[in-house]
Amino acid sequence: MTSGDLVLPRNSDLNAGTLVSVNLSRGAQAFQYWSETVDRAQKEKVVEELGQIFESSGVVVVAHYTGLTVAEMQDLRARARDAEASVRVAKNRLAKIALDGKPCASIADYLTGMTVLTFSEDPVAAAKVAEGFAKDNKKFEILGGAMGETALDRAGVEATSKLPSRDELIATIAGMIGAPASNIAGAIGAPASNIASILSTIEERAEAA
């Protein structure tokens, strides 16, 4: 007899049905343990992915999406994709964990209820997408966001959406100072560069020329 064998007490009246029940109970416990392990691994993966998003995004916008249909959410994702932005729905608790120590940690205050994140490396693209979608869909309620370490309230997101995009800014300034757009684009290395740092970098390059 091995240590894993089931030992029945003497004079036991356990029948085959009882043995099956015991085995099923053990199987259920094993499945529950496996399920919890897989669930924990999946949550850790989500937190890691969200952490990378929060670290690399130039702007993140938080909104409530209660009442939006599947088709409307698909429309939002399509608009974001066209603008080189992205959309992500995640559990608020996991998102808050992922925000720890990240530049845009201030958005944690907006993570209540049914929230959706719109984000982009470009410091204004996601704000433009969110604002445009909100105008066409009243059920999409923008709460606020962040541009790097700069917290944005509702009005701040709207103001950010009216700024020129990174590419638009490069083209405009290139025309003003007569420098090739490729040179200016190369001066802007970090994905999360905000408008102020972009202007500062270009000004330094222009003075050095």
- Tokens 């007569």, located at residue: 178
The per-residue pLDDT for 184 is 45
**Strand partners for 129:** none
Q: What is the DSSP string of 7-36?
A: PPPTT----HHHHHHHHHHHHHHHHHHHHH
Q: Using one digit for the tens of pLDDT, what is the confidence trace for 19-38?
A: 555 565 666 666 565 455 65
Alpha-carbon distance 161 to 129, whole Å? 8
For 157, half-sphere exposure in the C-beta direction (CA atoms, 13 angstrom radius) is 26
Which amino acid, residue 82?
D
Q: Among residues 120, 121, 131, 117, which one has the least CA distance to residue 159?
A: 131
The per-residue pLDDT for 54 is 95
Q: How confident is the model at residue 146 (pLDDT cuts 50, 70, 90)?
A: very high
Q: What is the DSSP string of 129-166?
A: HHHHHHHH-TT-EEEEEEETTEEE-HHHHHHHHTSPPH
Q: Using one digit for the tens of pLDDT, what is the confidence trace for 171-191?
A: 665 555 555 545 545 544 544
Q: Using one digit for the tens of pLDDT, what is the confidence trace for 71-87?
A: 999 999 999 999 999 99
Asked if 56 contacts 71 with a C-beta cutoff of 8 angstroms, the reply is: no
Indicate the SS3 state at residue 118. strand
Instruction: Pick 194 or 73 by higher pLDDT.
Output: 73
Question: Which whole number is the average pLDDT over 86-107?
Answer: 94
The per-residue pLDDT for 101 is 93
Decide which of 3.30.1360.30, 3.40.1550.10, 3.40.50.12280, 3.30.70.1730 is the CATH code for 48-161.
3.30.70.1730
Question: Which whole number is the average pLDDT over 151-179?
Answer: 75
Domain ranges in the chain are 48-161, 166-208
pTM for the predicted model, two decimal places: 0.66
Alpha-carbon distance 24 to 12, whole Å? 20
Task: Tell me the two tokens of residue 35.
Answer: 């399920």
pLDDT at 139 over 90: yes
The per-residue pLDDT for 17 is 57
The per-residue pLDDT for 24 is 58
What average pLDDT does the chain have? 79
Q: How confident is the model at residue 63 (pLDDT cuts 50, 70, 90)?
A: very high
Alpha-carbon distance 61 to 150, whole Å? 12
